[in-house]
């Protein structure tokens, strides 16, 4: 005996949500799904959206921490932004920030993180555990502790590095300030790149590498033709995240306070000195808004590369 089925009635399907069925894949319904995400949206609004809008508002005011402008701030429109665009200190900090990002994130953390992940990919035992432990420890230690350790390492009179190299009295933070904070930030931030690349390399089919090796491909050719095409998305994602983090990093202030002679005064430090030390919150907020726009441009650039990776 053959069983026959009839196609569902479209009117019955349309009426299903009205009888209590949910129209979404999770089966929650719009109201219940909205109730679940409401706490997260509230936190985003309180800690991200509102502060961003408040900074934009302050950038349009002549607000200061002290004086008449603190009690009665006035609207100045785009004056703060025009002041920033003609401020040599702002442009100096912008150039230093891009140098810092290029040196410590794009070249330092990304390259060192991939190198460590590649060398440790097939390792087992104590060596891998020790290397991963040291790198991750540098990442999770508080910034104040890390800065203190690096000051002790690079100190002119009693620094550990000078003692190891046998060059007492050499002032690393005075003679090579930018290089010092680049190496400092590379050391403390490499763990994220190493872990991300380690997970990505685990997804590269071993058979592809073996086929390339049997075909006579060198190690560099295997990286270029097999490994990098497989993990290109991971590379771009890593570069996006570490670039934004480094662009807004305040850690170098703990090491050099922006000196000597403003040679390490990256934008995060410049905003701090302008808004809090000098008390010009309006101008500092305008610079912060410009930093936000730069971050958006950088993010869009990387996202376009991610979308076009195929």
pLDDT reading at 4 higher than 70: no
CATH number at residue 94: 1.10.3720.10
pLDDT per residue over 150-196, tens digit each? 988 998 888 888 888 888 888 899 999 999 999 999 999 899 999 99
29-43, 85-99, 276-290: least confidently modelled range: 29-43
122 falls within a domain: yes
> Which helix (H) or strand (E) element contains residue 294?
helix 281-307
Average pLDDT, the chain: 85
What total of structural domains would you count in the chain?
Answer: 1
287 falls within a domain: yes
58 falls within a domain: no
75 falls within a domain: no
Indicate the pLDDT class of residue 34, thresholds 50, 70 and 90: confident
Q: Which domain holds residue 223?
A: 84-309
258: alpha, beta or left, given left = phi > 0 and alpha = psi -120 to 50? left
* Token output for 53: 């809008």
Indicate the pLDDT class of residue 1, thresholds 50, 70 and 90: very low
61 falls within a domain: no
Gyration radius (Cα) of the chain, Å: 27
pLDDT reading at 25 higher than 70: no
Q: Which residue has the higher pLDDT, 24 or 123?
A: 123
What is the pLDDT at residue 158? Answer: 83
pTM for the full predicted model:
0.83
66 falls within a domain: no
Cβ distance 246 to 185 under 8 Å?
yes
What is the pLDDT at residue 10? Answer: 52
Rounded CA separation 179/195 (Å): 25
76 falls within a domain: no
Cβ distance 212 to 222 under 8 Å?
yes
């Amino acid at each position: 005996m053959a069983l026959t089925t009839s196609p569902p009635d479209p009117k019955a399907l349309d009426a299903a949500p009205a009888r209590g069925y949910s129209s979404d894949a999770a089966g929650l319904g719009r109201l219940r799904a909205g109730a679940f995400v409401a706490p997260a949206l509230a936190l985003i609004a309180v800690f991200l959206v509102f502060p961003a809008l408040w900074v934009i508002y302050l950038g349009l005011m002549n607000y200061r921490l002290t004086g008449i402008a603190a009690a009665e701030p006035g609207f100045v429109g785009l004056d703060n932004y025009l002041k920033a665009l003609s401020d040599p200190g702002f442009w100096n900090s912008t150039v230093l920030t891009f140098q810092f990002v290029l040196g410590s994130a794009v070249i330092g953390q990304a390259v060192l993180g991939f190198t460590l992940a590649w060398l440790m990919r097939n390792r087992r035992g104590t060596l891998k555990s020790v290397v991963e432990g040291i790198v991750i420890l540098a990442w999770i230690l508080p910034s104040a502790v890390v800065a203190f350790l690096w000051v002790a390492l690079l100190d002119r009179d009693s620094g550990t590095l000078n003692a190891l190299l046998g060059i007492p009295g050499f002032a690393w933070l005075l003679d090579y300030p930018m290089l010092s904070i680049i190496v400092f930030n590379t050391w403390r931030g490499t763990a994220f790149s190493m872990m991300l690349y380690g997970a990505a390399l685990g997804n590269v089919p071993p058979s592809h590498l073996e086929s390339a090796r049997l075909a006579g491909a060198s190690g560099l050719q295997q990286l270029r033709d097999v490994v990098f095409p497989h993990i290109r998305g991971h590379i771009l994602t890593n570069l996006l995240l570490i670039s934004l983090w480094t662009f807004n990093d305040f850690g170098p202030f703990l090491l050099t306070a922006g000196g000597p002679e403003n040679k390490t005064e990256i934008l995060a430090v410049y905003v701090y000195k302008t808004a809090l030390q000098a008390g010009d919150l309006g101008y500092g907020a305008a610079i912060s808004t410009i930093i936000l726009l730069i971050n958006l441009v950088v993010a869009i650039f990387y996202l376009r590369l991610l979308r076009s990776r195929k």
